[in-house]
Protein backbone atom coordinates (compact mmCIF):
# COMPACT_ATOMS: atom_id res chain seq x y z
CA UNK A 1 0.00 0.00 0.00
CA UNK A 2 1.30 3.44 -0.87
CA UNK A 3 1.80 6.05 1.86
CA UNK A 4 -1.46 7.61 3.06
CA UNK A 5 -1.77 11.09 4.49
CA UNK A 6 -2.96 10.94 8.10
CA UNK A 7 -5.35 13.84 7.92
CA UNK A 8 -6.99 12.89 4.63
CA UNK A 9 -10.07 10.73 4.27
CA UNK A 10 -9.56 8.02 1.70
CA UNK A 11 -12.14 6.44 -0.51
CA UNK A 12 -12.47 2.71 0.18
CA UNK A 13 -14.18 0.40 -2.26
CA UNK A 14 -14.87 -3.17 -1.29
CA UNK A 15 -17.48 -5.89 -1.42
CA UNK A 16 -19.79 -6.28 1.57
CA UNK A 17 -21.76 -9.49 1.76
CA UNK A 18 -21.56 -9.92 -1.99
CA UNK A 19 -22.50 -6.36 -2.93
CA UNK A 20 -20.26 -3.45 -3.94
CA UNK A 21 -19.80 -0.96 -1.10
CA UNK A 22 -17.76 2.16 -0.51
CA UNK A 23 -17.02 4.70 2.16
CA UNK A 24 -14.42 7.15 3.38
CA UNK A 25 -11.97 6.75 6.24
CA UNK A 26 -8.86 8.37 7.63
CA UNK A 27 -5.88 5.98 7.63
CA UNK A 28 -6.14 5.30 11.37
CA UNK A 29 -9.87 4.55 11.43
CA UNK A 30 -10.56 1.02 12.63
CA UNK A 31 -12.61 -1.38 10.56
CA UNK A 32 -15.10 -1.71 13.42
CA UNK A 33 -15.81 2.02 13.40
CA UNK A 34 -15.87 2.15 9.62
CA UNK A 35 -18.39 -0.68 9.33
CA UNK A 36 -20.63 0.64 12.08
CA UNK A 37 -20.41 4.39 11.53
CA UNK A 38 -19.71 4.81 7.84
CA UNK A 39 -21.44 1.77 6.38
CA UNK A 40 -24.18 1.29 8.98
CA UNK A 41 -23.35 -2.38 9.47
CA UNK A 42 -23.94 -2.32 13.21
CA UNK A 43 -24.27 -6.09 13.55
CA UNK A 44 -20.51 -6.18 14.12
CA UNK A 45 -20.00 -5.48 17.81
CA UNK A 46 -17.12 -3.85 19.66
CA UNK A 47 -16.09 -5.26 23.02
CA UNK A 48 -12.51 -5.17 24.23
CA UNK A 49 -10.97 -3.34 21.25
CA UNK A 50 -7.81 -5.36 21.94
CA UNK A 51 -8.30 -8.47 19.86
CA UNK A 52 -9.25 -10.58 22.86
CA UNK A 53 -13.04 -11.01 23.07
CA UNK A 54 -13.83 -11.88 19.43
CA UNK A 55 -17.04 -9.82 19.35
CA UNK A 56 -15.84 -7.85 16.33
CA UNK A 57 -14.95 -10.86 14.16
CA UNK A 58 -15.75 -10.43 10.47
CA UNK A 59 -14.49 -12.29 7.42
CA UNK A 60 -12.05 -10.59 5.04
CA UNK A 61 -11.16 -12.48 1.88
CA UNK A 62 -12.23 -15.70 3.56
CA UNK A 63 -10.18 -15.16 6.73
CA UNK A 64 -11.62 -14.65 10.22
CA UNK A 65 -10.54 -11.14 11.10
CA UNK A 66 -10.63 -9.06 14.27
CA UNK A 67 -12.12 -5.84 12.95
CA UNK A 68 -10.84 -3.97 16.01
CA UNK A 69 -7.28 -4.78 14.99
CA UNK A 70 -7.78 -3.96 11.32
CA UNK A 71 -7.64 -0.56 9.68
CA UNK A 72 -10.48 0.35 7.39
CA UNK A 73 -8.07 1.23 4.58
CA UNK A 74 -6.79 -2.35 4.64
CA UNK A 75 -10.03 -3.66 3.17
CA UNK A 76 -9.71 -1.71 -0.08
CA UNK A 77 -10.61 -4.17 -2.84
CA UNK A 78 -11.40 -6.96 -0.37
CA UNK A 79 -14.41 -9.19 0.02
CA UNK A 80 -15.88 -8.58 3.47
CA UNK A 81 -18.56 -10.68 5.13
CA UNK A 82 -20.42 -9.62 8.26
CA UNK A 83 -23.27 -11.06 10.26
CA UNK A 84 -25.71 -9.05 8.13
CA UNK A 85 -24.89 -11.43 5.29
CA UNK A 86 -25.75 -14.65 7.11
CA UNK A 87 -29.52 -14.50 6.78
CA UNK A 88 -30.72 -15.39 3.28
CA UNK A 89 -33.69 -13.01 3.59
CA UNK A 90 -35.08 -10.47 6.05
CA UNK A 91 -37.60 -12.97 7.41
CA UNK A 92 -35.35 -16.00 7.37
CA UNK A 93 -32.38 -17.21 9.35
CA UNK A 94 -29.33 -19.04 8.09
CA UNK A 95 -28.62 -22.54 9.35
CA UNK A 96 -26.23 -21.41 12.05
CA UNK A 97 -28.52 -18.66 13.24
CA UNK A 98 -31.44 -21.03 13.38
CA UNK A 99 -29.44 -23.58 15.39
CA UNK A 100 -28.43 -20.84 17.85
CA UNK A 101 -32.07 -19.86 18.21
CA UNK A 102 -33.28 -23.43 18.77
CA UNK A 103 -30.59 -24.16 21.35
CA UNK A 104 -30.84 -20.86 23.25
CA UNK A 105 -27.20 -20.25 22.41
CA UNK A 106 -27.38 -16.55 23.15
CA UNK A 107 -28.63 -14.28 25.86
CA UNK A 108 -27.62 -10.65 25.42
CA UNK A 109 -26.20 -11.50 22.00
CA UNK A 110 -23.19 -9.24 22.32
CA UNK A 111 -20.73 -12.00 21.46
CA UNK A 112 -22.99 -13.74 18.98
CA UNK A 113 -22.17 -11.99 15.71
CA UNK A 114 -18.47 -12.68 16.11
CA UNK A 115 -19.04 -16.30 17.06
CA UNK A 116 -21.37 -16.83 14.11
CA UNK A 117 -18.84 -15.40 11.66
CA UNK A 118 -16.02 -17.56 13.04
CA UNK A 119 -18.18 -20.68 12.95
CA UNK A 120 -19.48 -19.94 9.47
CA UNK A 121 -15.93 -19.57 8.17
CA UNK A 122 -14.62 -22.60 10.03
CA UNK A 123 -17.42 -24.93 8.99
CA UNK A 124 -16.95 -24.09 5.32
CA UNK A 125 -13.59 -25.83 5.38
CA UNK A 126 -14.24 -28.24 8.26
CA UNK A 127 -17.71 -29.66 7.66
CA UNK A 128 -17.32 -32.53 10.11
CA UNK A 129 -15.91 -31.04 13.31
CA UNK A 130 -15.50 -32.88 16.59
CA UNK A 131 -16.79 -31.21 19.73
CA UNK A 132 -13.20 -30.54 20.71
CA UNK A 133 -12.63 -28.64 17.44
CA UNK A 134 -15.58 -26.40 18.16
CA UNK A 135 -14.38 -25.79 21.69
CA UNK A 136 -10.92 -24.83 20.44
CA UNK A 137 -12.47 -22.42 17.94
CA UNK A 138 -14.64 -20.89 20.64
CA UNK A 139 -11.59 -20.33 22.83
CA UNK A 140 -11.12 -17.21 20.72
CA UNK A 141 -14.46 -15.81 21.81
CA UNK A 142 -15.63 -14.59 25.19
CA UNK A 143 -19.26 -14.97 26.18
CA UNK A 144 -20.12 -13.50 29.55
CA UNK A 145 -23.67 -14.72 29.93
CA UNK A 146 -24.89 -17.74 27.97
CA UNK A 147 -22.29 -20.28 28.93
CA UNK A 148 -20.64 -22.26 26.19
CA UNK A 149 -22.57 -25.55 26.33
CA UNK A 150 -25.53 -24.38 24.20
CA UNK A 151 -23.19 -22.64 21.77
CA UNK A 152 -21.22 -25.86 21.24
CA UNK A 153 -24.45 -27.81 20.85
CA UNK A 154 -25.80 -25.34 18.30
CA UNK A 155 -22.56 -25.35 16.33
CA UNK A 156 -22.48 -29.16 16.10
CA UNK A 157 -26.14 -29.28 15.14
CA UNK A 158 -25.61 -26.66 12.44
CA UNK A 159 -22.58 -28.54 11.11
CA UNK A 160 -24.65 -31.69 10.73
CA UNK A 161 -27.41 -29.76 8.98
CA UNK A 162 -25.01 -27.98 6.63
CA UNK A 163 -23.65 -31.30 5.45
CA UNK A 164 -27.08 -32.31 4.24
CA UNK A 165 -27.80 -29.07 2.35
CA UNK A 166 -26.29 -27.96 -0.92
CA UNK A 167 -26.10 -24.27 -0.06
CA UNK A 168 -24.24 -23.22 3.07
CA UNK A 169 -26.93 -20.73 3.98
CA UNK A 170 -29.94 -22.66 2.84
CA UNK A 171 -32.97 -20.63 3.95
CA UNK A 172 -34.57 -21.67 7.20
CA UNK A 173 -37.90 -20.09 8.11
CA UNK A 174 -37.93 -18.14 11.37
110 touching ligand FES, by CB under 6 A: yes
CB of 94 to ligand FES, least distance (A): 18
8 or 28: CB nearest ligand FES? 28
| C-alpha–C-alpha distance, residues 40 and 161, integer Å | 31
Find the binder of ligand FES among 35, 58, 87, 111 (CB under 6 A). Answer: 111
30 touching ligand FES, by CB under 6 A: no
Find the binder of ligand FES among 37, 52, 101, 156 (CB under 6 A). Answer: 52
Find the binder of ligand FES among 31, 53, 95, 172 (CB under 6 A). Answer: 53
46 touching ligand FES, by CB under 6 A: yes
Q: List contacts with ligand FES (CB under 6 A).
A: 46-49, 51-56, 66, 68, 106-112, 143-146
Amino acid sequence: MSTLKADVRHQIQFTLNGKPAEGEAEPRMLLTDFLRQQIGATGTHVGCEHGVCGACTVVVDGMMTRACLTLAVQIEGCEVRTVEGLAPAADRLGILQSAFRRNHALQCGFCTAGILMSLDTYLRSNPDPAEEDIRVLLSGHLCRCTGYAPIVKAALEAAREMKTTTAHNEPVHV
